[in-house]
Amino acid sequence: MRMHDGASPFHHSTSHSGGKDSCYSALLAQQHGHEIVALANLVPADAGTEELDSYMYQTVGHGVVEAWSACCDLPLFRRRIRGSLQHHALVYEDTPEDEVEDLAALLHRCKAALPELQAVSCGAIASDYQRTRVERVAARVGLVPLAYMWHQPQARLLRDMTERGVRAVLVKIAAAGLSVEKHLGAELSTLVSFLHVLRRKFGGNVCGEGGEFETLVVDAPLFTHAKIELESWEPYLASPDALAPVAYMNNIRWSLASKREGEPAPSARIEWVEDDVESAVPVSHLASARPGSACEASVQTWPSENLLRVSATVLRSSDGEDAAMHAALSAVQEALSVRDLSFSDALFVHLFVPSMRRFAAVNAVYLRFLPAANPPARATVELEGEGTVVDVLVAMPGGGTAPRSLPRKTLHVQSISDWAPACIGPYAQSVAHAGLVFFAGQIGLDPGSMELVAGGALAQCRRCLLSSQNVAVAQQTHLEQALLWATVYVDASASDEDRAAILRAVRTAWGSGASGQETDGRSEEENLHEEEDLYEEENIHEEENIHEEEDPHEDDALDEYLVPPSFPRRTWSPALDCVVMPALPRGVLHGAAPARLTTAALACPGRFRRAVISAPAAGSGAALAEEAAEVVCAAVLRQAAEEVEKCGGMSVASCRLYVAGSVDINAVRATLAKLSDSGPSMPPLLVPATALVDSRGDPCHMLLELLAVGALA
């Protein structure tokens, strides 16, 4: 598809089962400005079969779905499901004869018949299994996945869809408290309060996300021409369990009722899709070296007991930024391959590029090297001056433990939603591994439109904080109580006032919370008051609406996927530092890349040590000449060596030295070459920046970030 600004409307199809979720997801897509141009539906291979045992598709009521074409006056593409469950992993890989391949064939035909088709919507709320499969197929076909119900509160979704005129009946029941006599065939809107009662009594999901029930929509705002009237049906009892019977509607007879006076309902436009589509050829992420390139990359590798850090630097390239990125990634790839590792083992990638204006070309090179499934998290910023730097942190076997066998959770949501900005491409929102969660850089994008939020730097900062919080909850960690460190990147064009406001907001949200400690010279109580003031204006109207609309019978407990884990009050203050760079992605003024402990590691926080060593700048940050730069750099390295001594038996996993534009960078390079033996156990990776600010908001000449880890478990 042709990529364009996120705010531009997509022509999209809806992957449609006939149920409330696919219907309401399409309505939300319309609300975000996208136009529905087609419907797509999968049905059992045997037309006489009503129910399939499938984790992917709802099929009960499939005989009625053909009416949707007439009701919406849209073409309906349908295909009989030939495949079955073959690929059992959470993240789907193309597998012949799997039922997901039927969806690929269906959407491939939709795209061929409708060249203007750009996106596909689905009704996933909490199912990673369903979402990742739709996203994989969408990527193959060249469509953008839309999932505006993703990780939204089910109580609100249920209330909103019924209030907005989505009329649906229960066509299947499979939960404690639901009976054939009372609830099968009942309208969903009449059961809202009862479903909350069942949740309080038995648990489960009020939207049926756990398979408690399935629905069939008979009328909705999408039905512009006609509605469906059910004339008769027969109950089929699949399981006569006394507590939780499983039953569905069978032999459904229906008719259409025109919604336009004096006009008959339009004829259905249905195309059956018979052709298969070949599975995508698996991509080898061992990109070849670019012939004829004069780029040379210097490579540094720092193995520790359980982690490997590899960085590649190209100081300058006459062949352009994309050639420099190719050379750097090739060098990292070669360094990994000699250790029987690959980019699939990477946890986090930091890209420092010479110009964000050429980022599209640089990113195209990145796509050739990184895996599409379970990619690492990533942050990208522009360097001060020339040069390209790729810094990769990799899990590696060692110390009798193979980290690749340890649990790893990659959160890679590619669907556009209202949850957090989509990561469309080979980088994840976050990767959790062996007690640490590595977060991709967040910028101030509105998730639903993928456009920068209005209101300037502070508004972008608040959006970053909210998106980071949503990602943290999805990874089952807690921003306020488990944060180890965060690097705050600020665009050089941001004013001093904006920088101060950003740091204050980040410190308020993430810097307080340590028991018995103060932040920025103020008490915790003062910081909490500031936090209340910071968000009061934004939240006051939302809270008023909640109280006005709240159903007294509605269960206000959060869904499980929205509940952060319970953490003890932390006893440390996270390391927060601010780095001013020439430019950030999409021209934003603020971005953040946090990392934190997970529940397993919180019991032994001493296994991780994070230090930020800063060299304050006098006054407003006057220039630092060659001789002074050498002295300051040497002092920073000596302090880093002392910090390493405090790490005990832990291994240094990351050591990065940011240098402000006020400092003679060549003097720093010379000092690093001379003093590397007396510095930390690994020489720091040099990153030229525009300006630096410590956690108190004071300007710095240099900032050294140090991370040490103990044995992974």
Q: Which one is predicted more confidently, 530 or 84?
A: 84
Q: Tell me the mean pLDDT in the region 216-222.
A: 97
Answer yes or no: is 366 within a domain: no
Are 375 and 366 in contact, with CB atoms under 8 Å apart? no
The reply to whether 495 and 565 lie within a common domain is: yes
pLDDT at 682: 63
CATH number of the domain enclosing 115: 3.40.50.620
pLDDT at 503: 86
The reply to whether 161 and 33 lie within a common domain is: yes
The reply to whether 696 and 619 lie within a common domain is: yes
* Most confident stretch, 445-449, 552-556, 617-621: 445-449
Rounded to whole angstroms, the Cα distance separating 711 from 287 reads 33
pLDDT at 281: 42
Domain count, the chain: 3
Q: Which one is predicted more confidently, 566 or 132?
A: 132
Q: How far is CA 630 from CA 156, 667, 687, 702, in A?
A: 60, 6, 16, 12
Report pLDDT digits (tens) over 603-616. 244 566 777 888 88
The reply to whether 477 and 615 lie within a common domain is: no
Answer yes or no: is 33 within a domain: yes
Tokens of residue 560, six digits = 């499980």
The reply to whether 450 and 520 lie within a common domain is: yes
* Most confident stretch, 56-70, 278-292, 512-526: 56-70
Answer yes or no: is 510 within a domain: yes
Answer yes or no: is 289 within a domain: no
pLDDT at 177: 94
The reply to whether 20 and 147 lie within a common domain is: yes
CATH number of the domain enclosing 648: 3.30.1330
The reply to whether 162 and 253 lie within a common domain is: yes
Token pair 């990109």 is at which residue? 287
Question: Containing H/E element for 530?
Answer: helix 524-549
pLDDT at 547: 37
Residue 158, amino acid: L
Please report which confidence band the pLDDT of residue 592 belongs to, taking 50, 70 and 90 as the band edges. low
Answer yes or no: is 524 within a domain: yes
Q: Which of 239, 261, 283 is the last residue of a domain?
A: 261
Answer yes or no: is 630 within a domain: yes
| pLDDT of residue 109 exceeding 70 | yes
pLDDT at 530: 42
Rounded to whole angstroms, the Cα distance separating 137 from 134 reads 5
Are 235 and 212 in contact, with CB atoms under 8 Å apart? no
| pLDDT of residue 534 exceeding 60 | no
Q: Which of 674, 707, 708, 705 is nearest to 692 (CA)?
A: 705
Q: Which of 552, 570, 603 is the last residue of a domain?
A: 603
Are 285 and 371 in contact, with CB atoms under 8 Å apart? yes
The reply to whether 630 and 581 lie within a common domain is: no
pTM of the model: 0.85
Report pLDDT digits (tens) over 326-370. 999 999 999 999 999 999 999 999 999 888 888 888 899 999 999
Q: Which of 341, 257, 355, 282 is nearest to 306 (CA)?
A: 341
Rounded to whole angstroms, the Cα distance separating 580 from 502 reads 12
| pLDDT of residue 307 exceeding 70 | yes
Picking from 25-29, 452-456, 476-480, 575-579, which range would have the lowest pLDDT averaged per residue? 575-579
Report pLDDT digits (tens) over 195-211. 999 999 998 899 999 99
CATH number of the domain enclosing 462: 3.30.1330.40
Tokens of residue 664, six digits = 């003679």
Q: Which one is predicted more confidently, 651 or 382?
A: 382
Tokens of residue 703, six digits = 């900032």
Could you tell me what percent of the chain has a pLDDT over 70?
Answer: 81
Q: Which one is predicted more confidently, 571 or 301?
A: 301
Rounded to whole angstroms, the Cα distance separating 442 from 479 reads 14
| pLDDT of residue 681 exceeding 80 | no
Q: Which one is predicted more confidently, 445 or 525?
A: 445
pLDDT at 574: 78
The reply to whether 163 and 194 lie within a common domain is: yes
Answer yes or no: is 612 within a domain: yes
Q: How far is CA 123 from the centre of its chain?
A: 17
Q: Tell me the mean pLDDT in the region 316-322.
A: 79
Rounded to whole angstroms, the Cα distance separating 556 from 155 reads 8
Answer yes or no: is 332 within a domain: no
The reply to whether 49 and 98 lie within a common domain is: yes
- Structural domain span for residue 450: 407-539+560-603
The reply to whether 100 and 120 lie within a common domain is: yes
The reply to whether 241 and 113 lie within a common domain is: yes
Q: Tell me the mean pLDDT in the region 284-302.
A: 63
Mean pLDDT (the chain, rounded): 82
Q: Which of 571, 603, 635 is the last residue of a domain?
A: 603
